[in-house]
Chains A and B, each alone.
Chain A
Amino acid sequence: MRGNNVVGIIFSNMHDDALKDVTNIRTFGSVPFGGRYRTIDFPLSNMVNSGVNKVGVITKSNYQSLMDHLGSGKAWDLSRKREGLFILPPFGNGNSMYGNRIEALDGISNFLNNCKEKYVILCDCDMVCNLDFKKVLDAHLDTNADITVVYKNGMMPADLSEPVELELNGQDKVTDIVASVSKGEKCSWSMGIYVMKKTYLQQKIGEAVSRNRSNFIRDILQHSVLEDKIYGYKFDGYVGALTSMQSYFGVNMDLMKIEVLRDLFNPMRPIYTKVRDEMPTRYGLGSVVTNSIIADGCVIEGEVENCVLFRGVHVGKGAKISNCIIMQDTVIGDNTVLNYLVSDKDVVFNDGKVMLGVESYPVYVCKGSVV
């Protein structure tokens, strides 16, 4: 079903600081993930699979790789005559670069004014999950809420850049909102995904801007919790929170748990991405590959264990790669040994090199480096 009266807004540059290394040259939304994806593929596919056919992507800086990835939106079925994909670069007079979420939303006021849709979904790219927005919207309508916040019950991930704990009553109505850091115990933590009426959002943004309030959590959520109806929607599926290089590493490694793989890539709600027309991956004679996620176009002649290999990675004879995330088109020479390492795109490891990181601190190798 299409056209469910919802417009999706994705913040592609939020949380850039959480993954400083890999966002140096790109937006958070275009950070490679899981062998063939970019993080924005998850919110974008979730929206499309829920019938949303209008999505605005707010960008700020370094968004060339994002635009290259999204193209016309064809891969997500968003290259359409009626609605489709809208890239929303910084816009406005003078210093138009937004500094926070409220300014970012204020900057797209023209886009929002022109939207005929009644509801908006706000979503970042830091939560890797397969979420059915239809259910969130249904819950939003059932409770007649002003804002519905998607939350997860469990341990709050460490290093969240906007940590928010919800206190809910039995009907999932939010009674208090606490901006707090992870206390190492179970709680209901916000995934930073919101559904509300478009007019409600516009009104709140207008109020905040006119009073020079700049913090979405403090000045809109916490400010409204008593007088407005804020409800929670509990998400039960897998969530991989990308909050730091360590968690980026960990969430990639989570894909090797078959239940996580099946949950994230539910064939009924596929995750779409830009296609590359690579040939299937070729395993050479003598290759030893175990417990790994491997995309198309790789050629593997060495040993690979507990790794995520992106498209077009070459692993030479006698090479030993373990616990690594190796991004697109990296070439690993013969007899090279790599352990606990995140290698960005187009890196070349010459023959016989050794590079070892540790579990709590994976080594990062910049895009295009030659080792």
Chain B
Amino acid sequence: MYPKQECIAMLLAGGQGSRLYALTKKIAKPAVPFGGKYRIIDFPLSNCVNSGIDTVGVLTQYQPLVLNDYLGNGQPWDLDTMYGGVHALPPYQGTHGADWYKGTANAIYQNIPFIERYNPDYVVILSGDHIYKMDYSEMLAYHKAHKAACTIAAYQVPMEEASRFGILNCNEDGTIYEFDEKPKVPKSNNASMGIYIFSWDKLRKYLEMDEANPDSSNDFGKDVLPAMLNAGEKMVAWKFEGYWKDVGTIDSLWEANMDLLDPKDPLDLSDPSWRIYTRNPVMPPHFVGRNADCQNSLVTEGCVVNGKLEFAILFEGVQVETGAQVTDSIIMPGAKVMEGAVVQYAIVAEDAVIGPGAVVGERPENVENKDDWGISVIGSGVKIGANAVVKAKAMVEEDVPEVTKQ
């Protein structure tokens, strides 16, 4: 028998994140490094702890090794508690056979026994691909005050972008009367953030109904939420104000990282009252050499910088050698940029090596056809040979051989 928990969180972390291509070849999306020393999952996990939620189920499926390893016993987030804490929940085999998680709703359905252990009144459903700081306890208070069956966090997006989102059309009192998935002509700009609070008895009922429906795709957004609305359950939108970014694509991941370099940083990671916790590397402070020049960049422990940084984000243990230049780029843990190499508008994944004199990525103004421009990505462990050139938008997953200088 476990002590009752009023509210627990379930974090959907099983998606492949296929739009991050090379970056999620070997790791699940929530485990992708972000912001110089974090991984994406640090944000929802830290939000949980800071909001007073200390029981979190993390639903894993795709490439879980790194993610499971990273979560460990939850100690970095203070989630190594006696009863709750962080639990990795992979699909499992039962007496009625085994199933992969068929959809987001099915993933929660399969873990009803986990949730029931804590006998919660409320369950928060989170996804592992957003960067934001949110106090879920405020959202829960709103949920309680409105005696809702389901509360959905809503973000005000610019009207012209609203057609890319799932839009929540609300009455004046905040109750939702319609879901509009990627509407051509949006009626409002309340985009669903994919963050839900359910009263557990209601959620359980609709998950079971959803599972019994053979035509359902077992997805929250497509199936469960519309079913609840059609059945007349009270659903409300809770407006979130603050920084929020979906980092499901290469471009948005790059942008969200670059947002941290904005002097008016909309996402203050240094706020001691709302820390983002992470598994800290065991490395010495970084060293900046005599020939280094660091401009508007983030640098963390274990780095050795002898080259030039401009709008660069370096993760732990990155080396930038003399004469190398890193501009508008993200260099993930353990990667090395060798002498005279240039990295611009690129994401270099873990342990990649950019050989001497190599050029990775292109500045947008130097590309003739704007459609050919994009962020270049070097996959983890990939070696770019000396003097090789990697074009804009390239997705490099295999070693590139050295080029002999003419």
- Find chain A residues with CB under 8 A from B35 CB: 279-280
- Find chain A residues with CB under 8 A from B280 CB: 275, 277
The answer to whether residues A277 and B288 also contact, given A258-B304, A296-B301, A297-B270 and a CB cut-off of 8 A, is no
Q: How large is the interface on A (under 10, 10 to 19, 20 to 34, 35 or more residues)?
A: 35 or more
- CA–CA, A280 to B317, complex, Å? 12
- CA–CA, A81 to B295, complex, Å? 48
The answer to whether residues A290 and B289 also contact, given A74-B75, A284-B263 and a CB cut-off of 8 A, is yes
- Find chain A residues with CB under 8 A from B301 CB: 36, 295-296
- CA–CA, A264 to B293, complex, Å? 25
Is the CB of B284 closer than 8 A to any CB of chain A?
A: yes
A274: nearest chain-B partner, CB-CB? B280
Q: Identify the interface centre among A74, A255, A279, A308: most chain B CB within 10 Å of its CB.
A: A279
Cβ A291 vs Cβ B289 within 8 A: yes
Interface 1/0 per residue, B108-129 and A, CB below 8 Å: 0000000000000000000000
- CA–CA, A280 to B312, complex, Å? 12
Interface 1/0 per residue, A255-283 and B, CB below 8 Å: 11010010011010011100101111111
Cβ B299 vs Cβ A280 within 8 A: yes
Interface of A is mostly: loop
The answer to whether residues A284 and B296 also contact, given A36-B301, A74-B75, A277-B277 and a CB cut-off of 8 A, is yes
- CA–CA, A17 to B17, complex, Å? 58
- Find chain A residues with CB under 8 A from B282 CB: 270-272
- Find chain A residues with CB under 8 A from B130 CB: none
Is the CB of A293 closer than 8 A to any CB of chain B?
A: yes
Is the CB of B86 closer than 8 A to any CB of chain A?
A: no
Cβ B295 vs Cβ A261 within 8 A: no
Cβ B284 vs Cβ A35 within 8 A: yes
Cβ A261 vs Cβ B36 within 8 A: no
- Find chain A residues with CB under 8 A from B286 CB: 281, 293-295
- Find chain A residues with CB under 8 A from B309 CB: 283
The answer to whether residues A279 and B270 also contact, given A285-B295, A286-B295, A296-B37 and a CB cut-off of 8 A, is yes
Interface 1/0 per residue, B8-23 and A, CB below 8 Å: 0000000000000000
- CA–CA, A272 to B280, complex, Å? 11
Interface 1/0 per residue, B283-320 and A, CB below 8 Å: 11111111111111111110010000100011000000
- CA–CA, A87 to B361, complex, Å? 54
Is the CB of B269 closer than 8 A to any CB of chain A?
A: yes
Is the CB of B346 closer than 8 A to any CB of chain A?
A: no
Is the CB of A34 closer than 8 A to any CB of chain B?
A: yes
Cβ B290 vs Cβ A291 within 8 A: yes
- Find chain B residues with CB under 8 A from A286 CB: 295
Cβ B284 vs Cβ A296 within 8 A: no
Is the CB of A289 closer than 8 A to any CB of chain B?
A: yes
Cβ A279 vs Cβ B284 within 8 A: no
Cβ A281 vs Cβ B299 within 8 A: yes
The answer to whether residues A290 and B290 also contact, given A261-B284, A265-B283, A271-B282 and a CB cut-off of 8 A, is yes
Is the CB of A148 closer than 8 A to any CB of chain B?
A: no
Q: Identify the interface centre among B278, B291, B298, B304: most chain A CB within 10 Å of its CB.
A: B298
Interface 1/0 per residue, A76-88 and B, CB below 8 Å: 0000000000000
Q: How large is the interface on B (under 10, 10 to 19, 20 to 34, 35 or more residues)?
A: 35 or more
Tally of A-B residue pairs with Cβ under 8 A? 107
The smallest beta-carbon distance between B277 and chain A, in angstroms, is: 5
Is the CB of B342 closer than 8 A to any CB of chain A?
A: no
Interface 1/0 per residue, A235-266 and B, CB below 8 Å: 00000000000000000000110100100110
Interface 1/0 per residue, A178-203 and B, CB below 8 Å: 00000000000000000000000000
Cβ B304 vs Cβ A294 within 8 A: no
- CA–CA, A261 to B288, complex, Å? 12
Is the CB of B144 closer than 8 A to any CB of chain A?
A: no
- CA–CA, A295 to B283, complex, Å? 10
Is the CB of A287 closer than 8 A to any CB of chain B?
A: yes
Choose among B275, B288, B298 the residue that contacts A282 (Cβ–Cβ < 8 A): B298
- CA–CA, A292 to B303, complex, Å? 12
The smallest beta-carbon distance between A349 and chain B, in angstroms, is: 20
The smallest beta-carbon distance between B368 and chain A, in angstroms, is: 30
Is the CB of B276 closer than 8 A to any CB of chain A?
A: yes
B293: nearest chain-A partner, CB-CB? A288
Cβ B284 vs Cβ A283 within 8 A: no
Cβ B275 vs Cβ A277 within 8 A: yes
- Find chain A residues with CB under 8 A from B300 CB: 280-281, 296
The smallest beta-carbon distance between B267 and chain A, in angstroms, is: 10
- CA–CA, A277 to B314, complex, Å? 17
- Find chain A residues with CB under 8 A from B297 CB: 282-283
- Find chain B residues with CB under 8 A from A288 CB: 293
Choose among A74, A258, A267, A275 the residue that contacts B287 (Cβ–Cβ < 8 A): A258
- Find chain A residues with CB under 8 A from B296 CB: 283-285
- CA–CA, A36 to B287, complex, Å? 13
Cβ A278 vs Cβ B295 within 8 A: no
Cβ B288 vs Cβ A291 within 8 A: yes
- CA–CA, A83 to B278, complex, Å? 28
- Find chain A residues with CB under 8 A from B285 CB: 34-36, 293-296, 308-309
Cβ B294 vs Cβ A264 within 8 A: no
The smallest beta-carbon distance between A40 and chain B, in angstroms, is: 16
Cβ B288 vs Cβ A290 within 8 A: yes
A261: nearest chain-B partner, CB-CB? B287
- Find chain A residues with CB under 8 A from B288 CB: 289-294
- Find chain A residues with CB under 8 A from B292 CB: 289-290
The answer to whether residues A277 and B278 also contact, given A294-B288, A295-B285 and a CB cut-off of 8 A, is yes
Interface 1/0 per residue, B222-238 and A, CB below 8 Å: 00000000000000000
- CA–CA, A272 to B35, complex, Å? 23
The smallest beta-carbon distance between A142 and chain B, in angstroms, is: 31
16 contacts between A and B (CB under 8 A): A258-B287, A258-B304, A267-B283, A270-B282, A271-B282, A277-B278, A277-B280, A279-B269, A280-B299, A281-B300, A284-B295, A289-B292, A294-B299, A295-B301, A297-B270, A308-B285
A interface vs B, CB < 8 Å? 34-36, 74, 255-256, 258, 261, 264-265, 267, 270-272, 275, 277-297, 299, 308-309
Known: A280-B313, A289-B294. 11 other contacts (CB 8 A): A258-B289, A258-B304, A271-B282, A271-B284, A280-B35, A280-B37, A280-B300, A282-B261, A283-B294, A283-B296, A293-B284
B interface vs A, CB < 8 Å? 35-37, 75-76, 261, 263, 269-270, 275-278, 280, 282-301, 304, 309, 313-314
